[in-house]
A and B are shown apart, each in its own frame.
Chain A
């Protein structure tokens, strides 16, 4: 126990005692906190801009951050601080255009439009924004606390009870699950995962001559992870949005609201009304977030549906119902979609398995900088010697807690000022984002090959979207391909080259059965595209 406290202390100190950027009245301001603040404000702005999303901002800023802070372990916390700031800010910011203009800033804010916009139209935009902020930050905070408690325990359990074959089976289960739950159909999910694995197998492996390079010298080190991930996720998205704009010949519709003279701001009794809905939303979001790949849009939809049912049951029929601008509707959605972000880091930190695009970029940052490898080894409480990875993990927890604090305080007033961003036309915005993204990649990789790779993967990502093949399973499989192959190789050789190594323990057999069951039972037959 005292060890845990010691590590918590070290984690907090690693943030507060980090290198100082400047000092105010003789008190040094640590660079990590400045970065967190910068990331948070960027995140809110990005979330409030329709067409941009948190992951996009994380993707573009990552190469720039790495160029600024370098590859030393000292760079880890400031870089993570900025990325976490964006992640937290974007969930908050997404509600702004949803409420003010009926236009979700991020996909998971879709359900916020249902009650947020009517409330704004009724002349209470400030009240709606305030409720969204309270719910979002509460959900996020709850989810973070679950993360702080669960991630270390999960990692310790995995390390104690799972041997190499079981770890391999767990990784197989995770990509199978992601393939099964994402996208229009299981088949397309599996296709996406398979393509990701194939792309990642180029030039990896343990042979002395790199495989599958077709003799192309530039492929000797494989595709750069940054180029592949940014290409598929960001460039592909930009191309596809630009195409949509070009086909529709008009920009996204912005509906403004006029003030009808109602009293704006938080009303007496609002908090008491929304607290139960926040609580339920936070639990739903956290549970869904802990499963890799399911995502915040589902959490928001589920929470909203549950809340509507509950609300209908306990109110009289003449009371305002969901969809007419009731605070409970905003609270249920925003608490749930924000609660996903913290819980999503449980599989990332304890198992190294990313569940959504934001987590992908945190793993990418750790991988690029080095010195921190998300996975069970992070939570090894070593005797005598300090485990620097564990200190970093507690540093990340500290940053998340501080991020919530900032979201509670300055986040609210900043988000209310961001409404103006929704009016930037996407056909001006996106080319600029594309240019900045390509520059950022060149900054990090300093090679034209990386640019071509990014564009190539971008076109690939565009066609995947055209054919409704989900892109995130591709990226997650691309990241997990290395760990899967490595742990399978290690398990195989540790078992004395036993070809049945995956079937020797009940746990690993159970994981494999679940990997087969996931695509079978979660099959949707293309009826309900998500």
Chain B
């Protein structure tokens, strides 16, 4: 980094996090490799690439995005665990990767304690989605159809979502036919093609919902959904757990605290700055930036691990 950028970084860091004075001095020792745990071209991938672009523009760092998709982000985790813990290797996953998926895989090398969470960027806008005007466009219709003996095909895009669908079904006495598909796009293709009846989507449903093609019949997160504020939360329907989570950046374990703070603040500065493309994208597709860093993030991750363990226990036990 040249000297011209130093005051800029300092200013950005100061604006973003007034208490991070000690981290201002940290700069990456080389180009940063940004692993992306999602398919190229999708919403999450675009988000990661725009953050990379923002980091380059705002801080003058060199960021090289690289795909490492598959196995619910665990491929990325395995690759990142072997990378140097000096801030030159970061990865974008969902919080679920290091909580539910890591626990469910049982592989000790990809557990949360092997990584340093840096910053979240956006929260899941998790909805239970159905075609608007179809036979399942409200929770009442779903339960009524189930009582009438109609098999209900429930599309999910991850093992955790599948477990949550099963758990909810157990609680309300419906034996869903749970269909695991590829990503939120796979869920929506299935709905459109009539291959499935309802499904979880974490934010990509926003546009079809706004245009009246689909509807959220319930939500998996605590706060009301931006597009369908009336959709009931699944805990009201009978679930013991929420289906919440974040898109987030992580680094290998034992990262220098200064580096962690600097990277976290830099991501925050890009995601929250309304002049960046990343911010525009987060606002458009994910209900706005939702950045959590440092201790707050540690607390959230620990909670999530506990919830995930309880869910796995509830489903398998």
Contacts and interface: CB of A to CB of B under 8 A. Distances in A.
A397 to B, nearest CB: 21
Contacts of B105: 208-209
Interface string A158-174: 01000110000000000
Contact of B207 (A208, A385, A494, A495): A385
Contacts of A368: 40
A368 B69 CA distance: 13
Contact of A369 (B41, B78, B212): B41
B75 interface: yes
Nearest to B42: A370
Nearest to B197: A494
B89 interface: no
B179 A71 contact: no
A317 interface: no
B75 A221 contact: yes
B192 A73 contact: no
B178 A371 contact: no
B195 A71 contact: no
Interface string A178-204: 000000000000000000000000010
A78 to B, nearest CB: 15
Nearest to A384: B211
B71 A209 contact: yes
Interface residues of B, number: 41
A206 B42 CA distance: 19
A220 interface: yes
Contacts of B147: none
A490 B40 contact: no
A382 B180 contact: no
Contacts of B153: 494
B159 interface: yes
B213 A384 contact: yes
B104 interface: yes
A369 B179 CA distance: 27
A369 B151 contact: no
A73 B41 contact: yes
B213 A385 contact: yes
Interface string A490-526: 1001111100000000000000000000000000000
B189 interface: yes
A370 B192 contact: no
A139 interface: no
B71 A490 contact: no
A318 interface: no
Contacts, number: 86
Contact of A208 (B71, B175, B192): B71
A395 to B, nearest CB: 16
Which bracket fits the contact residues of A?
20 to 34
Contact of A486 (B42, B74, B182): B182
B159 A208 contact: yes
B177 A495 contact: yes
Contacts of A261: none
Interface in A324-381: 368-371, 376-377, 380
A529 interface: no
A217 B180 contact: no
Contacts of B256: none
B70 to A, nearest CB: 6
Nearest to B193: A159
B207 to A, nearest CB: 6
Contacts of A371: 41
B193 to A, nearest CB: 5
B101 interface: yes
B81 to A, nearest CB: 11
Interface in A131-160: 159
B185 to A, nearest CB: 9
Contact of A494 (B41, B72, B177, B192): B177
A18 interface: no
Given A208-B71, A489-B180, A490-B181, A377 B212 contact: no
A530 interface: no
B30 interface: no
B104 A208 contact: yes
Contact of A163 (B70, B178, B180, B195): B195
A102 to B, nearest CB: 46
A248 interface: no
A71 B36 CA distance: 13
A377 B180 CA distance: 18
Contacts of A486: 181-182
B107 A209 contact: yes
A72 interface: yes
Nearest to A209: B105
A456 interface: no
Contact of B180 (A164, A206, A384): A206
B195 A385 contact: no
A380 B189 CA distance: 9
A369 B104 CA distance: 31
A495 B178 CA distance: 9
Contacts of B182: 486
B70 A221 contact: yes
Contacts of B104: 208
B211 to A, nearest CB: 4
A376 B75 contact: no
A490 B178 CA distance: 9
A146 to B, nearest CB: 25
A23 to B, nearest CB: 26
Given A370-B41, A383-B213, A385-B208, A208 B74 contact: yes
A38 interface: no
B281 interface: no
A494 B213 CA distance: 23
Interface string B73-117: 011001100000000000000000000010011010000000000
A107 interface: no
Interface of B: 39-42, 45, 67-72, 74-75, 78-79, 101, 104-105, 107, 151, 153, 159, 175, 177-182, 189-190, 192-196, 207-208, 211-213
Given A221-B70, A370-B40, 9 more contacts: A73-B41, A208-B74, A208-B107, A209-B71, A369-B40, A377-B192, A494-B196, A495-B177, A496-B175
Interface of A: 71-73, 159, 163-164, 203, 206-210, 217, 220-221, 368-371, 376-377, 380, 382-385, 486, 489-490, 493-497
Please list the 10 inter-chain residue pairs (A to B) with the smallest Cβ-Cβ separation, ordered nearest first.
A370-B41, A208-B105, A371-B41, A370-B40, A384-B211, A71-B40, A496-B177, A494-B153, A493-B179, A494-B179
30 contacts: A71-B40, A72-B41, A163-B194, A164-B195, A207-B71, A208-B101, A208-B104, A209-B74, A210-B75, A220-B79, A221-B75, A369-B40, A376-B193, A377-B189, A377-B192, A380-B193, A382-B192, A382-B213, A384-B212, A385-B211, A486-B182, A489-B180, A490-B180, A490-B181, A490-B190, A490-B195, A493-B177, A493-B179, A494-B179, A495-B177
